[in-house]
Structure 1
Amino acid sequence: MAAGRRRRRRRRRGSGTSGRPRGPGEDTQSQRNEKMECSNHDAAHALVLSPDGKLYEHGATASADCSQTRLVKELENQNIVQIACGDQHAMALSRGGKLFTWGQNGHGQLGVGSQTTLIPQPQLVERLKGISLAHIAAGGAHSVAVSLSGAVYSWGKNDFGQLGLGDTEDRNCPSYVGALEHWKTVFISCGADHTAALSKEGLVCTFGAGGAGQLGHNSTRNELTPRVVAELWGARVSQVACGSQHTLVYVPSLDKVYSFGSYEEGHLRDERKPNQLIPLPINSPVNTGKSCQENNTSQEVIEIIAGGNQRIVLCRSNKNSCLNGIATLKDKDVDTWISNSSSQHWISIKKNIGLIFSSEACINGSFLEKRDKHFKTSKEFSGVDISEVQCFYEKIIKKPELFQEVQKEIEKLVPSLSSSPISPENFRVYLILPFLLQGNDESSYRSLRLLAQAIMKLQPKDLQTLECLWSNLETSFFNKLVVLYQSVSQKSLLQFAEEVRGFQRNLFELHPHETVTLQILQILYQVNSRTGFRVQENNFYVPEVKVIIGLCWAFNVKEMPLWKLTKYPCIFDIQDKIAIHNTERNTLSSPCSDIYLIVMGQEHWVFPVRRQYLLQDIWTHLNDAPTEQFKKILKVSFVGEAGVDERGLSQELFSVAARTLCQPSTGAFRHVASGLAWFPSQAPSSEHTFFRIGTLCGMALYNGLMAPIPFPRALYKKLLGLAPTLEDLEELLPAAGRNLQGILDEECDHILESLDMDFTIMEEDSMVTVELKKNGANIPVTKYNRKEFVDLYLNYVFNESIRKPFKDFMQGFSRGCPARKWKMFLPAELQIVLQGHTKFDWHLLEENVTYSQYKRLDRTIRNFWIVFHRLPEERKKMFLAFLSGSDRIPGYGLEYFKFCIADPKAENPDELYPFANTCSHILFLPRYSSKRILKKKLLYATEHNESFGFG
């Protein structure tokens, strides 16, 4: 054991780098002023790392003269910062974050996925390409690496469990050591067949071969998973080093080096037995109760080394070390770039920017959360401080040359991003890069498209991880992400539309690279919906789709490319979705262009009904209709009444039918305190009522009409395959919903107990008690199971109790609406489309009116609006029904609801009441000079609903 000796560090199967742990992100660039050497156990192959990052080797793979040293030419362009040697393999880590391995590979210790037993030239370990590595180590025939955030990866020989993966199978690719997750590993060392990990808190874990006591667990048992060395608990170890079958640790607070395990070549001047099963201090100059400075003036213990049969404690007066890390971005670097961006420093700045932003690993290692929070990196937590990314962007955007240089490097990097992430740390780059590409220039748009393509290459399980990380972003950053992808989507579709209009392309040439950002936008929308709609839905709309819809109509293209775009419903507003739905309906209803069939009306479904037997006639038509009939456009006629249906009469049919079905006398629905219509829980199994009602509602949707049955939002969620929530229950059953929310919010156990609740529910209609789960009557509701109780309650109300009637309704709905694009609608939108708007801005209605034979300032017009605005709300709704056939505004909204006031040119206007064309929304208003007469006529007309045959 030598103190202060400078010599080649021969080790039999020990780690090839220093035993001193380096903190994440520690800058050691200034410390690289001495060379570093490592070799295998017999020195047949040795690596020498020079201060300038050049790697040399001598031995079996060098020239015939083994005493000569040669440059490793394959790595001459790599700035190497760490090296390690195993028995017959070598490792080298570059400052650019790349790990290279070469040598024997019989157990997969090179980690390159190859079965080749010998690979003499350095190979990139692809699986770790995006991981920001802090330290590497080589064992006898296994390898281990640690990231800046403490994630541990192992590969190679595993016959004793030295990989820490819980089994004894070899691995030829790096595997994540899940047992060390959140352990905050900062350093790792390998022996012949065992491994030791050191945490930031100074705890030591060992695993692998334990036959010589080298694991320190007071036993000779092998450990397949990492186990804390209990004897060192609380000691705050600062260094660890593994020899062939022994381990050394240094405890600075006690200034002692401890050892456990055995030495093959005797005791090495130590009188203990070879097999030391627990850590005990060794005899060395530093274990005297005094510091090294007291023993040797200015010396300090800075490094311990455990060779095959060696224990070395180095005491020196300085702390310079060859151990160095990969390049990561630091605040002082950015400030230096900005302050020294003159031409004389530009070459150096460009080199640093290129080094960091051309490397996935270097980017992932930058912008880490402070105060060690990044050690908690997982599928839910990225470990990235996005505010730091934003701060960096705001700094460099003020220096265009810096921003452009960063952009250029990112654009080159993105196509090579890892498509098979090994760790949550790999995903950081997908979170960081969008915030560095916020420019409104073509380069930023192009890079965002490339990034979107890289994201869509991820496997489904990896994409789920990214979605989870997105969902945990702060709302402001998540919204920014949405805005970025929405902007580039706008740009893509606008360019496409312009080229179509300029006849440079046709509508069928919407390419995948132009829709890939739409895919990302749709995924972000789904994340947003799962997290409670933190970002407003209109942030996802892409207005340019309106242009494409218009082009499709102009060029009479009814399917493509609209059908491609409907894969991303979030980009459409409700008016766009209605237009898409109408396009599909028109395509289905007109499968041929035979003019004879159109003239004969065979593309329409003529639907005669009697007012006094309305429901009976409707059910008869539906029962007798073949499936293909529902694809035709509905044309309603009321028997005994004149008039041609141009949507007005059809709308009146559905309005009257909905009103009739909601009458208590029909007994169709269960009427609850909220006033909404819901399915009865005890519907007869042979009853077809809800199949018919579902068919009627489906027909209304297909024909673009309203069926205003007051269903709750929950029904539309179920139609779209979404689960209703407690909020939906509160809408349907307000008292029950509030009570359940109170149970979830209650913090006092004794109050919950006093409620004396169990897992049962009382049916209001039948007063029958139903168990929500097996033996539910004997299971009390407590603070620990209340969430389960609420979930089961919701499931019973919205699923179990109405299974048969809803199934019938859904089958009927699918029959009545053979179109399928309606599934683009959100539940709230589908509810509006079927039930219409019930809140009105009557002044907006006035603004949208056009006039025929009238002018806006004519006395009759001014009098009309004065009278109209003075009417009670219900009278205004009656006027709307008189005008359009319904007292509700269709789903496209009041701002798009237009009607015309025309002068009928009557010879005797005093004897003529207003009348309307409900299909064209034309109000024929005779000229009156008196407000009193106008009011009288208008009230009479609306009260009697006298639209008289202008369906």
Structure 2
Amino acid sequence: MAAGRQRRRRRQQRGGRRGPAQRPRGAGELTQSQRNVKVQCSNHDATHMLVLSPNGKLSEQWATASGGCSKTRLVKELGNQDVVQIACGDQHAMALSRGGDLFTWGQNAHGQLGVGSQTTLIPQPQLVERLKGISLAQIAAGGAHSAAVSLSGAVYSWGKNDFGQLGLGDTEDRDCPSYVGALEHWKTVFISCGADHTAVLSKEGLVCTFGAGGAGQLGHNSTRNELMPRLVAELWGARVSQVACGRQHTLVYVPSLDKVYSFGSGGEGQLGDEGKPNQLIPLPINSPVNAGKSCHGENMSQKVIEIIAGGNRSIVLSKQNKNSYVNGIATLKDKDVDAWISNSSSQHWESIKKNIRLIFSSEACINGSFLEKRDKYFKTSKEVSGVDISEVQCFYKKISKKPKVFQEVQKEIEKLLPSLSSSPISPENFRVYLILPFLLQGEDDSSFRSLGLLAQAITKLQPKDLQTLECLWSNLETTFFKELVFLYQRVSQKKLSQFLMEVISLQRNPYYLHPHETETLQVLQILYQVNSRTGFRVQENNFYVPEVKVIPTVCLFFNVETALWKLTKYPCIFDMQDKIYVHYKECEALSRPFIDNYLILMGQEHWVFPVKRECLLQDIWTHLNSAPNEQFRKILQVEFVGEAGVDEGGLSQELFSVAARTLCQPSTGVFRRVASDLAWFPSQASSGEHTFFRIGTLCGMALYNRLLAPFPFPRALYKKLLGVAPALEDLEELWPAAGRSLQGILDEEYDHNLESLDMDFTIMEEGGSMVPVELKKNGANIRVTKDNRKEFVDLYLNYVFNESIREPFEDFMQGFLRGCPATKWKMFLPVELQVVLQGHTKLDWHLLEKNVMYRQYKKSDQTIRNFWTVFHKLPEEKKKMFLAFVSGSDRIPGYGLEHLKFSIADPQEEHPDELYPFASTCEHILFLPRYSSKKILKKKLLSAIEHNEKFGLR
């Protein structure tokens, strides 16, 4: 062959010893046209050779410099591996299997084996655990360092680093693969290692080098070492297709020019001319390859060039075939899937099963499949997965129509799940967590079991790794994210159903939920948090698990409250009514007295709370100031001094309603009144007389006692109570003009428009001294621009909602926690907590009529019919006044109007026309004398409402 003749001529020119030509480090891969591959790496007087046979079996051989060779040894430790790539360093070896596993062995003084140890010698192949799950495209070995490239162009390096040959910015050795961050999104497709330097090739044909540069082998017109990857500027504009590193020299091939360029050490002719000095920049070599026709008349326009650099030699091969010399790991291809589907019932089934097992038993092979088209996978990062989920869905639809194939895929996935990487090294590792759920959409036990195992793997991730997965989830298309939620909601529903059935059938202890029963709930909760951070793309009811509603009924017969408390760690599965139930159950349990650490199950302790109407606030503050903390566990029982009545909830509600209305009056000066008549904390207020601590205590007491605290607070307060950061929409609720202005700044497209506003990083206090407050150090001298406007808005919101009200809010929060010793209220969303404390403002009066109860009356009685006719014709404000007249508040508690205990009774007096209708707020009863006329009824009803208004019932 021409290549053989060429090699012989080069050996004769150099006058060197005859021997097998050196392959480049990292280029010892099997091609279709070769019967075997030999990789030879010299180190003083010894040579290590790997021989890879066409069937993927690997042998190794150590030879002395004199030419004597030991007997070839089959690397039997890799006997069950189908090896597709091999590479040799000076005294270490690498082998990549078709299943995606990388094995290394040999000398390890510098950690070049990447196995987390610097044991001097490891003679048998070891799995490089750190790269498990990475879809490797190519491997390379240097003198005492190693490198690998993934299918997505990510580069990993490890081993000796005294010259910076790992590209990590320092000279510290690494005994585990490290991600070369400087090459992120470089689109690396090939890497080659010299003795102490490294070269990488990008898909666009650019070349970067780093490491030792003393002989000019980096091509930067310098002998300086480079600790970070640096572009070879002299090759800019020349689209390089191959790169190869020798011991101290480098070769590149530019197909458009049909030229091979070399740089580095040339003392032994490795740059093309015998005795040539070191070359610091790439220059073309003198080679017959560059001629239009070979000396034997071959048509060189059809040739394929392959360059090889090894030790102090350079080889240029001219071949007629274009077969790639890099074989890769197994990944899923459309043609393979079609073959599985069409041949699943034929004699090919055993071969199909083998292929399915190869791919779906390997994390790396799965991660290397379903990649986005048009090279988008090169953008893989913590924000971009590189996976085409629609392709995953398409694959699932195909195989789901062939149960035999589908079940085989499921079986391999289930076996793989327990071994998923618990400490991923790269964002590429996380693809498996995105792909597998969409392959487990079946409703059979196997799918549910596998989803549970996948959830188990997710919950074992370290917090930083879980954050990466959450980021990838947040960037899923909404349809795919919703499907993911549905899958975990469904399997969570299944597990809770099984738990309840086993409890009811007395097959298990009702006190305990197994970890495997809560891991899917934990994943569902994480998905919910991702959903909330990304603007609630998926409606909250998609997370609810209906089985939760069965638990209250089961609690009547079985003690499953302990399990219920555990489920509250996953509030997304509860709807608002379920959360209210849990909150009430906790308050009920806390209010039971303890004697000698034993809980009294029956009855509740009460806190008798006498107050006088004429000095209501003073009496409230007196009680709160003197009460020990344990007093707040008791159920409140209000007595208005000088008035009859037993508090069944109405009197307590009246106390909170009157107190809230009084404290919010402008004359008190407690709150700032802002847009829509909302109440907010005063800016830069000091603790003063503990006013906000007391108000917070009052609000906490209302929540604990299942009552309303109808302060007109904005949504931002409830967000802060729950640890959720207020957003721009919250500012707009308080100060609409300011909110719209900031949104306009964020939306502005043109720099000059922002500059014309002449804004800096300061804020003017409303109603204050008009002295600007700096949002950051030296803020008055920092202009707001398009580049920093997001920071400006964030600092503005932080000042308004945090810094300017720090003291009064902290007092309020401490008081709130004192007033409500329960903790399950933290399950509520801000909007839900707002409704629970402030009540519903939009009321369905027909629902009130539907749920009312009657005493001494029937629904069909004329008086009742007249009453509802009159009532529904009243203005909305009068209807709310009536509600306050009956219940003590013009709002409906968070659990809804349909649950309000409201009765209409006949006082059965002798002279009903002389009586107003009157109410017992303590029992939510309207006493309605019998009237015959609608006109009289309306008059008396309005008089009763207004009469009680004068006495401060609203």
Per the TM superposition, whether the score is higher than 0.5 is: yes
Partner residue of 1:476? 479
Whole-angstrom CA distance in 2 between matches of 1:298 and 1:783: 54
Match of 1:17 among 9, 16, 27: 27
Whole-angstrom CA distance in 2 between matches of 1:912 and 1:291: 122
Match of 2:204 among 201, 206, 217: 201
Mean Cα deviation higher: 131-140 or 52-61: 52-61
**Alignment partner of 1:58: what SS?**
strand
Report the residue type matching 1:653 in the other structure. Answer: L
- Residues 911 and 11 of structure 1, relative CA distance in 2, 3 Å threshold: farther
Q: Does structure 1 residue 52 correspond to structure 2 residue 55?
A: yes
Match of 1:150 among 138, 141, 153: 153
Aligned CA RMSD, in angstroms, stands at 3.1
Whole-angstrom CA distance in 1 between matches of 2:256 and 2:81: 39
Could you tell me whether the CA contact under 8 Å between 2:164 and 2:225 is conserved in 1?
A: yes
Could you tell me whether the CA contact under 8 Å between 2:266 and 2:276 is conserved in 1?
A: no
Q: Does structure 1 residue 37 correspond to structure 2 residue 38?
A: yes
Q: Does structure 1 residue 873 correspond to structure 2 residue 883?
A: no
Match of 2:523 among 505, 520, 523: 520
Partner residue of 1:607? 609
Match of 1:364 among 362, 367, 372: 367
Whole-angstrom CA distance in 1 between matches of 2:136 and 2:261: 28
Partner residue of 1:637? 639
- Residues 557 and 925 of structure 1, relative CA distance in 2, 3 Å threshold: farther
Whole-angstrom CA distance in 2 between matches of 1:665 and 1:690: 16
Greater RCO, CA 8 A, separation 6+: 1
Whole-angstrom CA distance in 2 between matches of 1:139 and 1:114: 18
Report the residue type matching 1:344 in the other structure. Answer: Q
Match of 1:564 among 566, 586, 589: 566
Could you tell me whether the CA contact under 8 Å between 2:764 and 2:771 is conserved in 1?
A: yes
What's the TM-score, normalizing by structure 1?
0.93
Partner residue of 1:432? 435
Whole-angstrom CA distance in 1 between matches of 2:33 and 2:457: 37
Partner residue of 1:654? 656
Give the deviation of 1:144 after TM superposition: 0.9
Give the deviation of 1:360 after TM superposition: 0.2
CA displacement, residues 173-199 of structure 1 (integer Å, 9 cap, x when unaligned): 111111111110001111111111110
CA displacement, residues 128-159 of structure 1 (integer Å, 9 cap, x when unaligned): 11000000111112111100000111111222
Matches within 5 A, 1:751-790: 751-773=753-775, 774-790=777-793
Whole-angstrom CA distance in 1 between matches of 2:898 and 2:396: 41
Whole-angstrom CA distance in 1 between matches of 2:782 and 2:173: 49
Partner residue of 1:534? 537
Partner residue of 1:24? none
Partner residue of 1:85? 88
Whole-angstrom CA distance in 2 between matches of 1:599 and 1:261: 86
CA displacement, residues 344-400 of structure 1 (integer Å, 9 cap, x when unaligned): 232222221111111000000011111111111111111111121122122222222
Give the deviation of 1:750 after TM superposition: 3.9
Give the deviation of 1:297 after TM superposition: 5.9
Whole-angstrom CA distance in 2 between matches of 1:756 and 1:213: 53
Whole-angstrom CA distance in 1 between matches of 2:40 and 2:471: 44
Mean Cα deviation higher: 847-856 or 746-755: 847-856
Could you tell me whether the CA contact under 8 Å between 1:255 and 1:287 is conserved in 2?
A: yes
Give the deviation of 1:291 after TM superposition: 8.5
**Alignment partner of 1:674: what SS?**
helix
Match of 1:489 among 478, 487, 492: 492
Partner residue of 2:817? 814
Give the deviation of 1:463 after TM superposition: 1.2
Could you tell me whether the CA contact under 8 Å between 2:594 and 2:600 is conserved in 1?
A: no
Structure 2 alignment gaps of length 5 or more: 9-17
Whole-angstrom CA distance in 2 between matches of 1:419 and 1:768: 56
- Residues 784 and 599 of structure 1, relative CA distance in 2, 3 Å threshold: closer
Match of 1:187 among 168, 187, 190: 190
CA displacement, residues 424-479 of structure 1 (integer Å, 9 cap, x when unaligned): 11111111111111112221111111111111111111111111111211222222
Match of 1:729 among 728, 731, 735: 731
Partner residue of 1:164? 167
Whole-angstrom CA distance in 1 between matches of 2:336 and 2:867: 72
Report the residue type matching 1:234 in the other structure. Answer: G
What's the TM-score, normalizing by structure 2?
0.92
Partner residue of 1:720? 722
Give the deviation of 1:647 after TM superposition: 0.9
Whole-angstrom CA distance in 2 between matches of 1:72 and 1:393: 38
Could you tell me whether the CA contact under 8 Å between 2:592 and 2:604 is conserved in 1?
A: no
Partner residue of 1:830? 833
Could you tell me whether the CA contact under 8 Å between 2:41 and 2:310 is conserved in 1?
A: no
Partner residue of 1:3? 3
Whole-angstrom CA distance in 2 between matches of 1:136 and 1:600: 72
Could you tell me whether the CA contact under 8 Å between 2:293 and 2:300 is conserved in 1?
A: no
Report the residue type matching 1:758 in the other structure. Answer: D
Partner residue of 1:458? 461
Match of 2:276 among 273, 278, 286: 273
Partner residue of 2:265? 262
Give the deviation of 1:682 after TM superposition: 5.3
Whole-angstrom CA distance in 1 between matches of 2:597 and 2:936: 49
Report the residue type matching 1:108 in the other structure. Answer: G
**Alignment partner of 2:214: what SS?**
coil
Could you tell me whether the CA contact under 8 Å between 1:354 and 1:409 is conserved in 2?
A: yes
Could you tell me whether the CA contact under 8 Å between 2:27 and 2:87 is conserved in 1?
A: yes
**Alignment partner of 1:83: what SS?**
strand
CA displacement, residues 62-98 of structure 1 (integer Å, 9 cap, x when unaligned): xx99465443222222111111111221111111111
**Alignment partner of 2:39: what SS?**
strand
Whole-angstrom CA distance in 2 between matches of 1:783 and 1:605: 58
Give the deviation of 1:853 after TM superposition: 5.9
Give the deviation of 1:788 after TM superposition: 3.1
Identity of counterpart residues, as a percentage? 81
Whole-angstrom CA distance in 1 between matches of 2:34 and 2:276: 40
Whole-angstrom CA distance in 1 between matches of 2:345 and 2:599: 78
- Residues 932 and 924 of structure 1, relative CA distance in 2, 3 Å threshold: same
Could you tell me whether the CA contact under 8 Å between 2:647 and 2:923 is conserved in 1?
A: no
Could you tell me whether the CA contact under 8 Å between 1:161 and 1:222 is conserved in 2?
A: yes
Whole-angstrom CA distance in 1 between matches of 2:796 and 2:757: 16
Kindly tell me the number of residue pairs found equivalent between the two proteins.
939
Whole-angstrom CA distance in 2 between matches of 1:855 and 1:9: 111
Q: Does structure 1 residue 420 correspond to structure 2 residue 423?
A: yes
Whole-angstrom CA distance in 2 between matches of 1:846 and 1:344: 73
CA displacement, residues 304-336 of structure 1 (integer Å, 9 cap, x when unaligned): 111212211111221234521111112222222
Partner residue of 1:697? 699
Report the residue type matching 2:341 in the other structure. Answer: I
CA displacement, residues 560-589 of structure 1 (integer Å, 9 cap, x when unaligned): 223322222222222222222222222222
- Residues 76 and 583 of structure 1, relative CA distance in 2, 3 Å threshold: same
Whole-angstrom CA distance in 2 between matches of 1:736 and 1:949: 37
Report the residue type matching 2:726 in the other structure. Answer: P
CA displacement, residues 586-628 of structure 1 (integer Å, 9 cap, x when unaligned): 2222132799999999821100111122112111111222222
Whole-angstrom CA distance in 2 between matches of 1:35 and 1:899: 90
Match of 1:675 among 674, 677, 699: 677
Report the residue type matching 2:520 in the other structure. Answer: T
Report the residue type matching 1:577 in the other structure. Answer: K
Give the deviation of 1:917 after TM superposition: 4.8
- Residues 946 and 278 of structure 1, relative CA distance in 2, 3 Å threshold: closer
**Alignment partner of 2:846: what SS?**
helix
Could you tell me whether the CA contact under 8 Å between 1:134 and 1:148 is conserved in 2?
A: yes
Whole-angstrom CA distance in 2 between matches of 1:326 and 1:32: 19
Report the residue type matching 2:316 in the other structure. Answer: V
Q: Does structure 1 residue 444 correspond to structure 2 residue 447?
A: yes
Matches within 5 A, 1:555-594: 555=558, 560-592=562-594
Give the deviation of 1:299 after TM superposition: 5.3
Report the residue type matching 1:619 in the other structure. Answer: W
- Residues 321 and 781 of structure 1, relative CA distance in 2, 3 Å threshold: closer
Could you tell me whether the CA contact under 8 Å between 1:549 and 1:562 is conserved in 2?
A: no
Could you tell me whether the CA contact under 8 Å between 1:881 and 1:945 is conserved in 2?
A: no
CA displacement, residues 902-922 of structure 1 (integer Å, 9 cap, x when unaligned): 566667766665455545544
**Alignment partner of 2:288: what SS?**
coil
CA displacement, residues 757-777 of structure 1 (integer Å, 9 cap, x when unaligned): 333333332342232244444
- Residues 673 and 70 of structure 1, relative CA distance in 2, 3 Å threshold: closer
Whole-angstrom CA distance in 1 between matches of 2:296 and 2:322: 14
